[in-house]
């Protein structure tokens, strides 16, 4: 117990200072293999693995193959997302009394996959509050296979939006000095977890190996966080959360603590009629 407390204290210190922290060997070999097999099947079932050559794919799909919220349909994935070894650390890093599941996502970089450019996760999410990503390495991740790279301390600039990045936010000299620090590449072993703040600028290298690089991310939001804007977001929209209200509901259940050890039930199917859904599709010329 004392060793665990010391480990979490070290993670909290690293996270507060750098905006990211590395938890080594959280999942055992058998646990990681089982999780990877379930996610492999999910990508096939959802037809998320493209057969087209990388050069013919959309930009995002040239970087990685992905699908969202596997926890909703797979009990074993739900158990991992609510595992106190992961969700409990997320709460400690956010200094939150409780955390909710925000989303999960696969990050499979195929051989030859392109690099992922520097970004903040928060720009994509209409949330006022703190979030942390637990990025689980399903394979050994090397510099050659697409390791993550973090700009240490960049979370201190705070959240920006997609519009900030498009129009060019006027960063202060101090903020720009943080953002322009040299990124730190972080190779990790299978079963280890990288935790990073939603405001931390980060990227991922290309996969120059002949093997797929598999990773799985679970994002947690501090309980009490609110919807910040009307930016469309499926799970928040389907839970009917208006701007200014707390993010809660069957698609954002409590992940920690769960005193009785039970898992949240899978959410219902998306409602038939939600204002603004489905999103309009741009015409094809």
The mean pLDDT of the chain is: 87
What pLDDT is attached to residue 45? 86
What pLDDT is attached to residue 113? 79
What pLDDT is attached to residue 112? 81
| Res. 178 pLDDT band, cuts 50 70 90 | confident
Instruction: Please check the confidence at residue 278 and state whether its pLDDT lies above 80.
Output: no
Better pLDDT: 192 or 113: 192
Cα-based torsion angle of the residue sequence 125, 253, 17, 195 in order, rounded to the nearest 10 degrees: -90
Instruction: Please check the confidence at residue 48 and state whether its pLDDT lies above 60.
Output: no
Q: How many CB atoms sit inside 10 A of residue 133's CB?
A: 24
What pLDDT is attached to residue 27? 97
Instruction: Please check the confidence at residue 250 and state whether its pLDDT lies above 90.
Output: yes
Q: How many CB atoms sit inside 10 A of residue 265's CB?
A: 11
What are the DSSP calls for 147-170, one per residue? Answer: -EEE-TTGGGG----HHHHHHT--
The stretch 2-20 carries a mean pLDDT of 86
What pLDDT is attached to residue 1? 43
| Res. 284 pLDDT band, cuts 50 70 90 | very low
What stretches of 120-273 adopt beta strand conformation (E)? 127-128, 131-137, 148-150, 184-186, 193-197, 202-204, 213-222, 226-227, 254-256
What pLDDT is attached to residue 115? 84
Q: Which two tokens stand for residue 250?
A: 């069957």
The stretch 26-42 carries a mean pLDDT of 96
DSSP element (H, E) containing 19:
none
| Res. 214 pLDDT band, cuts 50 70 90 | very high
Domain parsing of the chain, residue ranges: 2-256
Find out if CATH 1.20.1630.10 is the number for domain 2-256: no
| Res. 200 pLDDT band, cuts 50 70 90 | very high
What pLDDT is attached to residue 285? 38
% of the chain surpassing 70 pLDDT: 84
Better pLDDT: 274 or 139: 139
What pLDDT is attached to residue 283? 43
């Amino acid at each position: 117990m004392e060793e665990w407390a010391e480990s979490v204290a070290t993670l909290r210190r690293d996270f507060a200072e750098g905006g990211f922290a590395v938890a080594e060997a959280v999942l055992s070999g058998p646990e990681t293999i089982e999780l990877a097999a379930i996610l492999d099947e999910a990508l096939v079932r959802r037809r998320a693995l493209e057969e087209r050559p990388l050069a013919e794919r959309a930009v995002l799909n040239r970087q990685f193959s992905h699908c969202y919220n596997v926890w909703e349909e797979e009990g074993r994935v739900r158990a991992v997302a609510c595992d106190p070894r992961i969700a409990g650390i997320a709460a400690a890093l956010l200094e939150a009394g409780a955390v909710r599941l925000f989303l999960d996502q696969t990050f499979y970089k195929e051989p030859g996959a392109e690099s992922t450019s520097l970004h903040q996760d928060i720009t994509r999410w209409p949330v006022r509050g703190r979030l942390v990503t637990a990025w689980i390495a399903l394979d050994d991740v090397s510099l050659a296979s697409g390791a993550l790279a973090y700009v240490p301390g960049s979370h201190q600039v705070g959240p920006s939006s997609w519009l900030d990045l498009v129009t060019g936010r006027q960063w202060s000299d101090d903020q720009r000095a943080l953002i322009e620090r040299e990124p730190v590449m972080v190779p990790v072993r299978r079963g280890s977890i990288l935790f990073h703040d939603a405001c931390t600028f980060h990227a991922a290298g290309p996969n120059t190996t002949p093997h797929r690089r598999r990773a799985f991310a679970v994002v947690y939001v501090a309980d009490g966080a609110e919807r910040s804007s009307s930016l469309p977001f499926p799970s928040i929209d389907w839970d009917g959360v208006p701007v200014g209200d707390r993010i809660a509901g069957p698609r954002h259940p409590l992940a920690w603590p769960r005193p009785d050890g039970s898992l949240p039930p899978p959410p219902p199917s998306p409602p038939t009629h939600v204002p603004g859904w489905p999103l309009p599709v741009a015409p094809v010329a």
